[in-house]
Amino acid sequence: MENEALLEKFEMLAKEQNIQELKVYLDDQLITDIAELIHEMPDYADMIISNLAIGRAAAAFRILEFHIQEDVIRELPAAKVAELLNELPADDRTAFLGELHSDVVKELIKLLDPEERKITLSLLGYRETSVGRIMTPEYIAVREESTVRQVLDYIREYGKDSETIDVIYVVDEKGKLLDDFRIREFLLVAPSTFVHTLMDDRFVALHVNDEQEEAIQVFRMENRVALPVVDDAGILLGIVTIDDMLWIANEEHTEDIQKIGGTEALDEPYLDIPLLKLVKKRIGWLIILFLGEMLTATAMKYYEHEIAQAVVLALFVPLIISSGGNSGSQASTLIIQAMAVGEITLSDWWRVMRREILSGLMLGSVLGLIGFIRIILWNGLFNTYGEHGTLVGITVGVSLIGVVLWGTLSGSMLPLILKKLGADPATSSAPFVATLVDVTGLLIYFSVAYMLMKGVLL
């Protein structure tokens, strides 16, 4: 269905207050169309949710942006809020409540059924970035002494309440996880087969306190749609499904991109964040980077005498610092991305350094050669740099090798150092690396110039 047609039809029914036809019309639409309709017409969000069947309302609510979810809860009557929250899967409900102010959470918790309240409080007790915070207790677990026929009968009776029936878990009488099976393994054997005869005790499980980012890597490596979550004793507490991991991966990716760009994570859509809050998120890094760039002036002041004697050196300052900053930003972005997808760990630091030393030397040599040739050509055609043009070209060429090498090393090592210190590698954003290399690049440039030009121009 075309989005414009959906918007027009809904708007007409809403204005006519034709509630009965509106309900029928909304229940005929795809959940994704409903979510887009709410996004396009946020003022009608509570009306739309109120007139959906509760199961479809929960399905639409769980994929909305948080700020729209918050508005919906604020506008709906308490009875409808209770119905909606109780219908939501435990992990989605916990994720929503985890974003709210504690006073609001206390009031909403009161609206939950006793069993759902117990589950929600349990999940909220885990650290915000832990796997426990996003797991769901809705799964299928069977005993090893059961037959395949009994397992399938159990799934038919209770499967509708599970987050997924693609994976079935085997537990003992204490709830300890013994094994897991894809459902196809039960469908392809005789109904009289005992579960324990199929077990190989090889399974992958997440710990309830594992970081969510680490869980993303496990999902990627194991190619699973769901993974069990256990405690220290191996007791099965819940499961995490791939749809939750996709949301987390998207949020982490967005946050890292924003940090790499030199700003704090926005945590909400760009067009929805208040202007003052947006400025606050950006100004901190800008001030730090501005103060860092002021060191560039300090470095140039230190070499003021050399610049006065050979003014030609000042012509190439932008070239030098931009080349170093660009190479550093490149390296930083590549390493942060590789760390994010698990291609690089802290133990790989020496391999990374060796590669970046070689890369820096090769990249710097290419840029240095181009710079040297350009200076020689311009000086030959226009006598731009005077009688010592060749020496100037050599100075710039050698400096570029040093500056680009330093830039690649700084950009590649900073994320690893920050990770080692327990900080977010994305914090070593491209602007931060560029600022650092700008200052040190000047020191390299003028040091090389002093060594090569001493007694000639200096």
At 284, the amino acid letter reads G
Helix (H) or strand (E) holding 98: helix 90-98
Task: Give the pLDDT score at 429.
Answer: 66
Q: Has residue 434 got a pLDDT over 60?
A: yes
* Range in 136-140, 261-265, 317-321 the model is least confident about: 261-265
Which pLDDT band holds residue 3 (cuts at 50, 70, 90)?
low
**What does the mean pLDDT of the chain come to?**
87
User: Per residue in 150-202, pLDDT tens?
Assistant: 999 999 998 887 888 899 999 999 999 999 999 999 999 999 999 999 998 78
* Confidence band of 1 (pLDDT split at 50, 70, 90): very low
State the residue for tokens 């690396």. 433
Determine the Cα–Cα distance for residues 292 and 304; give it in Å rounded to an integer: 19
Q: How many residues does the chain have?
A: 458
Q: Is pLDDT above 80 for 79?
A: yes
**CATH 1.25.60.10: which residues of the chain?**
3-125
Please report the beta strands in 85-211, taking only residues with DSSP state E, as ranges in sequence order. Answer: 141-142, 167-171, 177-182, 206-207
201 vs 348 pLDDT, higher one: 348
What number is the average pLDDT over the span 344-366? 94
Q: Among the ranges 15-19, 24-28, 106-110, which has the highest mean pLDDT value? A: 106-110
| Contact in structure between 27 and 52 (CB atoms under 8 Å) | yes
Greater pLDDT, 199 or 299:
199
User: Residues spanned by CATH 3.10.580.10 within the chain?
Assistant: 141-242
CATH architecture observed for domain 141-242 = Roll (3.10)
Range list for CATH 1.10.357.20 in the chain: 275-453
The closest of 287, 233, 285 to 261, measured between CA atoms, is: 285
Q: Pairing relation of β-strands 141-142 and 167-171?
A: parallel
275-453 in CATH: which number? Answer: 1.10.357.20
Measured between alpha carbons, how far is 56 from 391 in angstroms, rounded to an integer? 75
pLDDT tens readout for residues 217-250: 888 888 888 999 999 999 999 999 998 888 888 8
Average pLDDT value for residue range 292-317 = 80
Tokens for 278, please give them: 């947006």
| Stretch 409-414: mean pLDDT | 93
137-173 exposure pattern, b = at least 16 Cβ within 10 A, e = fewer: bbbbbbeeebbbeebbebbeeeeeebbbebbbbbbee
Q: Give the least confident one: 26-40, 251-265, 347-361.
A: 251-265
Continuous segment of H or E residues that includes residue 47: helix 45-50
Question: 60 near 38, Cβ under 8 Å?
Answer: yes
pLDDT attached to residue 161: 79
CATH architecture for the domain at 3-125: Alpha Horseshoe (1.25)
User: What is the residue whose two structure tokens read 């499967």?
Assistant: 159
- Between CA 303 and CA 281 the distance in angstroms is 36
Number of Cβ within a 10 Å radius of residue 333 = 19
pLDDT, tens digit, for every residue of 80-114?
Answer: 999 999 999 988 999 899 888 888 898 899 899 98
User: How far apart are alpha carbons 429 and 222 in whole angstroms?
Assistant: 31
DSSP H or E stretch at residue 212: helix 212-222
**Residue 85, burial from CB neighbour count under 10 angstroms (0-12, 13-18, 19+):** buried
Q: Would you say residue 2 has pLDDT above 60?
A: no
pLDDT of residue 36: 87
Average pLDDT over residues 140-154: 94
Closest CA to 374 of 384, 363, 361: 384
Count of CB atoms within 10 A of residue 299's CB?
19
pTM, to two decimals? 0.70
